[in-house]
Amino acid sequence: MKTLASVITLLATLCLSKCQTTKPHILLIIADDFGYNDIGYHGSEIKTPNLDKLAGEGVKLENYYVQPICTHTRSQLMSGRYQIHTGLQHGVIRPPQPNGLPLDSAILPQKLKEVGYSTHAVGKWHLGFYKEEYLPTNRGFDSHFGYLTGAEDYFKHDRCFGAMCGTDLRDNMNPANYTGVYSTHLFAQKAAEEVNNHNTDKPLFLYLPFQSVHGPLQVPEQYTKPYMHIQDKQRRTYAGMVSAMDEAIGNLTDVFQKRGMWNNTLMVFSTDNGGQIHAGGNNFPLRGWKDSLWEGGVHGVGFVHGEMLKRKGTVSRDLIHVSDWFPTLISMVGGTLNGTKPLDGMDQWKTISEGSSPGPRQSILHNIDPMYPPVGQRVPSSPFDNRIRAAVRMGDWKLVTGFPGNGSWVPPPHMDSITLSKDSASKNIWLFNITEDPNEHNDVSGTYQHVVINMLELLAQYNKTAVPCRYPAMDSKANPKYHGGYWGPWE
Ligand SMILES: *[C@@H]1O[C@H](CO)[C@@H](O)[C@H](O)[C@H]1NC(C)=O
Ligand SMILES: *[C@@H]1O[C@H](CO)[C@@H](O)[C@H](O)[C@H]1NC(C)=O
Ligand SMILES: *[C@@H]1O[C@H](CO)[C@@H](O)[C@H](O)[C@H]1NC(C)=O
Ligand SMILES: *[C@@H]1O[C@H](CO)[C@@H](O)[C@H](O)[C@H]1NC(C)=O
Ligand SMILES: *[C@@H]1O[C@H](CO)[C@@H](O)[C@H](O)[C@H]1NC(C)=O
Ligand SMILES: *[C@@H]1O[C@H](CO)[C@@H](O)[C@H](O)[C@H]1NC(C)=O
Ligand SMILES: *[C@@H]1O[C@H](CO)[C@@H](O)[C@H](O)[C@H]1NC(C)=O
């Protein structure tokens, strides 16, 4: 009997350390400026076999929204909060701008750390660096390998802003020099090292915001070989860049598999915004592109993969927004949201995993940008100044005001020619039923005036909760020439 009891005790002790279900690893991959029409499963001429396979086995998010530009999307991904609540309503953070995602609300890696995660970031930050407090390693990441600004040379890892030039690559706080190594290879390698060095008793959070496929258009020649039939040189190079990223992601999943971690890994893939048509990207048949409030700027590519999804191989058509990842991931791992200011993101775990529909989200504030130059006339007695650049979604409806960006429909270069927008330069209100008209061809603002009024009222309500926009002047003290030739904190 004594032996049996001790065996049971021994088993129980073993079980406490080994039988506990470990929290899932999280692999969060962001592609930069990756367009709606640039992924294989949307019918692109660009081949993305690894992404297609992963998405096919997981849940494709086909009513998924991001923000029109880098800093906006990344700030919401990390904080779960809209631009109007962080002061980042206008533009991206420029390299010499003393600005950053405010420190007043806990962000994703901090909250994951609280519940036991090892947290590592490899790639682009773009959420501010003028003071050390804003760097990823001071905001919940155990490590960061990558760059701090928004774009740079893929091989030299340097960046000029006007006359200010410097290298932008760091290994944690330390300047790094990998001149000549293509960033997609470099980041894939560093990400693999994090996985290989990971102590699997702990859950891993690996954040991998690739430089791919933002301009400048650069890729090792081997990746453009399959695309010699694409006449347009920009599109051909871009296609090669997408292929390199797709290969990197395939390689990384192999590393997870070899370590036996893959079947306990939730992978999230998202673009940060629409493709840039002037740098090889494409969003056709959506209207507009990066940096606009048209669907081509904000209707993003995204999917989720993982054994823990209850329904796999499905497509979700529920409204999901990039601000939702924070509460969704924290809820999935059983964390808490204390220490955060009120969130705009919503917990979508059941929507994604179980397909429980409708999801919690009815509306999205795409943005209100008070610094964008106003357009046209204000509608008399409108509760919201419709000359101002803004857009909001409510169920099927989307209202756009002010100047949303160039509203042309631009197919990839080999297809038919561009359909130019016929809107007058002073037009400043559009209403679309996005469910019926996802490509924004039919403005119905004249037919549904009561809907327009309701949605202007909704914008006015959001506007009441807005904090002042923070867009400080460029600071010459940021110049890398004062900092050993590197972009880095200067205050
Ligand atoms: C990086 O190393 C290369 C040689 O490998 C050198 O030419 C270059 O100046 C170095 N860059 C920096 C920023 O130190
Ligand atoms: C993927 O792995 C192969 C084989 O190790 C390697 O040759 C290739 O460079 C890797 N690709 C990327 C993008 O890292
Ligand atoms: C995950 O894979 C490992 C190694 O292949 C296997 O031992 C384990 O049972 C798998 N776990 C699940 C939950 O499928
Ligand atoms: C949240 O609460 C936990 C437990 O009380 C605490 O350890 C943690 O510091 C809090 N987090 C924040 C960001 O306030
Ligand atoms: C938003 O609210 C501010 C402060 O009340 C006001 O000055 C501004 O005109 C409003 N913006 C719009 C677009 O109505
Ligand atoms: C909008 O973009 C298209 C495609 O680049 C271009 O041909 C057109 O001139 C632009 N329209 C305006 C008003 O800038
Ligand atoms: C939008 O269009 C869809 C598809 O035609 C329709 O089912 C839906 O009722 C419309 N929504 C509204 C709010 O009218």
CATH of the domain at 232: 3.40.720.10
Q: 320 with 439, same domain?
A: no
Our answer on whether the CB atom of 337 is closer than 6 Å to any ligand 4 atom is: no
Give the pLDDT score at 16.
47
Give the pLDDT score at 6.
63
Q: 301 with 450, same domain?
A: no
Provide the whole-model pTM.
0.95
CB neighbours of residue 391 within 10 Å: 26
Query: Residue 194: which of 272, 100, 118 has the closest Cα?
Result: 118
Give the pLDDT score at 18.
45
Give the pLDDT score at 414.
86
Give the pLDDT score at 415.
87
Q: 372 with 350, same domain?
A: no
- Ligand 7: distance of its center to the CA of 93 in Å? 38
Pocket test for ligand 7, best of 317, 393, 398, 435 (most atoms within 8 A of CB): 435
Specify the residue with its C-alpha closest to ligand 2, atom 5.
251
**Domain end among 354, 385, 401:** 354
Specify the residue with its C-alpha closest to ligand 6, atom 12.
406
Give the pLDDT score at 17.
45
Our answer on whether the CB atom of 294 is closer than 6 Å to any ligand 6 atom is: no
Question: Residue 446 sits in a domain of what CATH number?
Answer: 3.30.1120.10
Q: 309 with 433, same domain?
A: no
**What are the tokens at 280?**
């090889």
**What are the tokens at 488?**
């880095």
Within a domain: residue 7?
no
Ligand nearest to the backbone CA of 222: 2
Q: 299 with 398, same domain?
A: no
Is residue 165 annotated as part of the catalytic site, yes or no? no
Give the pLDDT score at 117.
98
- Ligand 6: distance of its center to the CA of 400 in Å? 19
Ligand nearest to the backbone CA of 457: 5
Is residue 42 annotated as part of the catalytic site, yes or no? no
Contact by Cβ (8 Å): 289, 66: no
Q: 319 with 458, same domain?
A: no
Token pair 């469910």 in the structure block, residue: 435
Distances (CA, A) of 173 to 20, 50, 398, 482: 36, 33, 43, 16
Give the pLDDT score at 9.
57
The binding-site residues of ligand 3, defined as CB within 6 angstroms of any ligand atom, are 260, 263, 307
CB neighbours of residue 473 within 10 Å: 9
Give the pLDDT score at 333.
97
Domain count, the chain: 2
The mean predicted confidence, pLDDT, of the chain is 96
Stretches in the chain below the pLDDT threshold 70: 1-21
Handedness of CA 305, 67, 471, 209 (dihedral sign): positive
Residue-number span of the structural domain to which 402 is assigned: 363-464
